[in-house]
Amino acid sequence: MVSFKALLLRDLRLAFRQGGDGAMAVIFFVLAALLFPFGLGPEPEALARDAVGIVWVMALLASLLALDRLFQGDWEDGSLDLMALSPLPLELVVLAKALGHWLVSGLPLLIAAPIVASMLQFDTAGLPRLVAALALGTPTLSLLGAVGAALTLGARRAAVLVSLLVLPLEIPLLIFGVAAADPAATGDGSTQFMVLGALLALALPLCPWAAAAALRQALD
Amino acid sequence: MHRFANPARFMRVSQIVLPWLATVTVLFLVAGLVMSFLAPPDYQQGESVRIMFVHVPAAWMAMCAYTSLALASAAALIWRHPLAEIAAEETAPLGAVFTGLCLVSGSLWGQPMWGTWWAWDARMTSVLVLFFLYLGYMALLNAFDDPTRGRRAAAILALVGFVNVPIIKFSVEWWNTLHQPASVLRMGGPTIDPSILWPLLVMAVAFTLLFVTLLVLRMRAALIERKIRVLDAAASGALG
Amino acid sequence: MSFSTWVQMGGYAGFVWPAYGIAAAALGLLAGGTIRRYRMAQRRLAEMTATRRGEDA
């Protein structure tokens, strides 16, 4: 009997047992972000100015890491067929998967981001706003990622293909996410936060719907 | 509408229509080019305004092509319409070329106009996203061993990406950044001078005709290729 | 207006001509490639139907 909660807990249990995915995403995030001082030079002003952008881009890339395996395991062993046949709508299955992905890859990012930003000489006064923007933006990343994962299920080179499909769709989110957290911007960023909220509100119904349609095509 | 769903009927009708389409396309292209170079130079922009006669029609085609892609994809998914599937598949490369042309010509216009080859304003960014959507569509189409799966997945992607088209159209109105606002397709009617408007419209019609002609040609080629594959399979089945 | 003045496009020659040139090249290649693909497909189909008719005969 498949229920939303059971599905979510199963995914989380698998993630913790394997330990890999979530930890990998965070490690990649930290490591890659810390390459920038070497690449851009260590001057604090330059790094601080770019810190928000670096953190956001890294968040986007880190969220892509576990995506190609989001549905693959269940698809290969037949569980996805069972889920499709169960009374639980496929859209809710997708939502559970996306939520699991966010809890494992996105939430740890909210803890790592302030640390990374501080190491990039970012002014600590701006950290709450950065975390808030990421908190509002990363769920949308997981939702869009779920659409990409569903579309590329069973494709050759699915990992790379997911990035090619999902990153362009995430660009508006990136633009507003950086603007919302940017301390140099005029105003308190409330419009940008509203846009981030609007994007999440749009993604919550639309992404599971699109991903479910894609999954049905894969299961046909 | 379903009378035209028959591929054989499409082949018959397109065979008759194609020579006329091609001829009218060439006529409009020539006329458009002549008018583009006869148009007077702009008061502020000088001769560089001529780039507009390539850039704007290309931009319109980029968006129209994606709209047809989305419509064809919807028809393919909802009705499993065989011609719709082929139409969608063959539209994508055409749309990608027009989008690329829009970006390149826009760059060449932007440098003398604004002093920069590129700017991250809303319209330019969303046209770049459109270009990547075309590329993603074509990549997804060919990413599966089962071609049907590829076509269905790509169709869904086309529909998901359609949100970008209204963003492109209205971005210049929502955000007042670098790219100039709409001066032709707007509520009060066009605001540009007729001496510039006419070459623009003729070029736009020419590009549209070119798109349609090439699409029909590509669809015919695709249908013939399908027939070849069927015959190939039958022949090897007969011999095997 | 002399030809050389016209070619210079009021100083914008470096932008106007490449714009039209790239457009012509891109659309030309697109059209050419499409026509070539179409002709090759037609030819191949004609060959196949001819051989089939030859086999049946």
Per residue in C1-57, pLDDT (tens digit) is 677 777 777 777 788 888 999 999 999 999 999 999 999 999 999 988 887 777 665
How far is the C-alpha of A176 from the C-alpha of A191, rounded, in Å? 9
Query: Is position B204 within any domain?
Result: yes
Interface with C, mutate which of B231, B236, B239 (most C CBs under 10 A):
B231
Query: Is position B230 within any domain?
Result: yes
Query: Is position B72 within any domain?
Result: yes
What pLDDT digit, counting tens, does each position of A147-196 carry?
999 999 988 888 889 999 999 999 889 988 998 988 777 677 788 899 89
Query: Is position B74 within any domain?
Result: yes
For residues A203-214, b (16+ Cβ closer than 10 Å) or e, as one string? Answer: beeebbbbbbbb
Q: How close B100 comes to chain C (CA, Å)?
A: 9
Q: How close B225 comes to chain C (CA, Å)?
A: 6
Q: How close A193 comes to chain B (CA, Å)?
A: 16
Is the Cβ pair B97, C23 closer than 8 Å?
no
How far is the C-alpha of A72 from the C-alpha of A215, rounded, in Å? 11
Full-prediction pTM beyond 0.90?
Answer: no
Query: Is position B141 within any domain?
Result: yes
Q: Work out how many CB contacts closer than 8 A connect B with C.
A: 85
- Which of B56, B137, B133 has its CA nearest to residue B90? B137
Number of domains in chain B: 1
Residue A78 CA, distance from chain mean position:
26
- Around A174, how many Cα atoms within 13 Å sit in the side-chain half-sphere? 22
Range of the domain at B103: 19-36+50-176+189-239
Query: Is position B41 within any domain?
Result: no
How far is the C-alpha of B161 from the C-alpha of B168, rounded, in Å? 12
B58 in contact with chain C, both atoms CB, cutoff 8 A: yes
A163 in contact with chain B, both atoms CB, cutoff 8 A: no
* Facing residue for B54 by CB, picked from C11, C23, C38: C23
Contact in structure between B59 and B102 (CB atoms under 8 Å): yes
What pLDDT digit, counting tens, does each position of A6-65 carry?
888 888 887 777 766 677 788 888 888 888 888 888 888 888 888 999 999 999 998 998
Identify the segments of chain B with pLDDT beneath 70.
Answer: 1-5, 173-178, 180-190, 238-240
Query: Is position B155 within any domain?
Result: yes
Amino acid identity, position B100: G
Contact in structure between B118 and B124 (CB atoms under 8 Å): yes
Query: Is position B9 within any domain?
Result: no
- Which of B176, B178, B199, B65 has its CA nearest to residue B116? B178
How far is the C-alpha of B170 from the C-alpha of B140, rounded, in Å? 28
How far is the C-alpha of A87 from the C-alpha of A90, rounded, in Å? 9
pLDDT at B177: 63
Interface of C with B in 23-42 (CB under 8 A): 23, 26-27, 30-31, 34-35, 37-38, 41-42
